[in-house]
Amino acid sequence: MAKPPPLRHLITLADLSAEQIIDLLDTAESLRATALRPVNKLPLLRGRTVVNLFFEPSTRTRTSFELAAKRLSADVINFDVAHSSTSKGETLLDTLRNLEAMRCDLFVVRHQQNGTPAYLAEHAAPGVVIVNAGDGNHAHPTQGLLDMFTIRRHKADFSQLTITIVGDILHSRVARSDIHALRALGVGELRIAGPASLLPEDAAELGCRIYHRIEDALANSDVIIMLRLQKERMQHGLIASDQDYARCWGLDRQRLQLARADAIVMHPGPINRGVEISDEVADGAQSVILQQVSNGIAVRMAVMAKLLGQV
Ligand code: CP
């Protein structure tokens, strides 16, 4: 099969074909095998420099990009936003220009404002690559890819699957990237469920069946993706209380029994334990939450190696 067209940047999964997504997942699969060897470094990005440019907090994404870059032998800069000259008013574009002048090759960008990674990609110097590590509620493409990678490792054929995304869809960039990828991959049935106050206005256009009771949404699901309540992006009053949310929308052992017996439970993290998911489910046999985290390294290795033209 011919190779799909090369990607210049990775900003969203909305414009990726199934072919491009599968190519990235296949590359991640081959790099995963390497990452598990005792000597787990590859020379693919030797001499290249990756900058983690995070304007919002992160545990999983930032650390796994750093590990992924190091496993590909790149140099890595974790740009310290709080102590940088952005605090003196230096613009984002000037920050990019200065780091480009130091011959940095690839920028991993997380920002609270939708569109910031796309803006930087528009202005990046030739050959410089921008990877979106999450912008506002717009997109989190590498999380979407690692979610697809994790699902594919457990369930063979996307067209046979019923996948249910539960919770704060309105504020979730993960939900949007998952939905774009799942639709591209031809998922059998895609469901979203959450309180009306946490469903986006364009919910009907996302190509999902909308559920207003978690019990109905979970019935016969193969994959359940629970979302974090994103209080930092939430206007006051969108939910009555954590307790009320847990009662109506939390995934506990009893509710999990409504899904297929071999259903897997996912969550992008960080988890609000006892709110969107109970401890017994988050830590239970059907949870693949920590596998998602591990898979993030191989997927991010694949994304960076691919965008820098090394695979
Ligand atoms: N899933 C995710 O993006 O987690 P972090 O915010 O810790 O990176």
Residue nearest to atom 4 of ligand 1 (CA): 60
Instruction: Among 54, 56, 61, say which to mutate for ligand 1: greatest number of ligand atoms within 8 Å of CB.
Output: 61
User: Would residue 180 count as lying in a domain?
Assistant: yes
Tell me: do 250 and 270 sit in the same domain.
Answer: yes
Tell me: do 133 and 206 sit in the same domain.
Answer: no
User: Would residue 6 count as lying in a domain?
Assistant: no
In the numeric block, the tokens 């990235």 are attached to: 24
CATH code of the domain containing 131? 3.40.50.1370
Cis ω for the linkage preceding 270 (within 30 of 0): yes
pLDDT digits (tens, 9 = 90+) for 233-277: 777 778 888 999 999 999 999 999 999 999 999 999 999 999 999
Tell me: do 181 and 193 sit in the same domain.
Answer: yes
User: Would residue 13 count as lying in a domain?
Assistant: no
Please tell me the total count of domains within the chain: 2
CA atoms within 13 A on the CB side of 118: 15
CB of 59 shorter than 6 A to ligand 1: yes
User: Would residue 8 count as lying in a domain?
Assistant: no
pLDDT digits (tens, 9 = 90+) for 34-81: 877 888 899 999 999 999 999 999 999 999 999 999 999 999 999 999
DSSP designation for 110: E
From the CA of 114, how far away is ligand 1's center (Å)? 16
CB of 61 shorter than 6 A to ligand 1: yes
Q: How many CB atoms lie within 10 A of CB 228?
A: 19
pLDDT digits (tens, 9 = 90+) for 164-198: 999 999 999 999 999 999 999 999 999 999 999 99
CB of 269 shorter than 6 A to ligand 1: yes
Per-residue tokens: 243: 């307790």
CB of 60 shorter than 6 A to ligand 1: yes
Element (H, E) at 107: strand 106-111
Tell me: do 238 and 298 sit in the same domain.
Answer: no
Tell me: do 29 and 97 sit in the same domain.
Answer: yes
What pLDDT, on the 0 to 100 scale, is given for residue 234?
76
What pLDDT, on the 0 to 100 scale, is given for residue 2?
67
Instruction: Among 55, 56, 59, 300, say which to mutate for ligand 1: greatest number of ligand atoms within 8 Å of CB.
Output: 59
Which has the minimum average pLDDT: 22-36, 147-161, 177-191? Answer: 22-36
User: Would residue 263 count as lying in a domain?
Assistant: yes
88: burial class by Cβ within 10 Å (0-12, 13-18, 19+)?
Answer: exposed
From the CA of 59, how far away is ligand 1's center (Å)? 6
Q: What is the mean pLDDT of residues 78-102?
A: 96
Q: What is the extent of the structural domain holding 38?
A: 18-139+293-307
DSSP designation for 7: P
Q: Give the orientation angle of helix 141-154 with respect to helix 18-35, to 10 degrees.
A: 70
What pLDDT, on the 0 to 100 scale, is given for residue 267?
98
What pLDDT, on the 0 to 100 scale, is given for residue 33?
87
Tell me: do 182 and 229 sit in the same domain.
Answer: yes
From the CA of 94, how far away is ligand 1's center (Å)? 27
124 pLDDT higher than 80: yes
Q: Which residues are CB-neighbours of 141 under 8 A, at least 6 positions away?
A: 10, 11, 12, 13, 131, 132, 177
Residue nearest to atom 6 of ligand 1 (CA): 58
Tell me: do 223 and 169 sit in the same domain.
Answer: yes
Q: How far is CA 170 from CA 11, 17, 182, 203, in A?
A: 19, 25, 18, 9
User: Would residue 83 count as lying in a domain?
Assistant: yes
CB of 296 shorter than 6 A to ligand 1: no
- Give pTM, 2 decimals: 0.96
Angle at the Cα of 159 (from 276 to 280), degrees rounded to 5?
Answer: 25
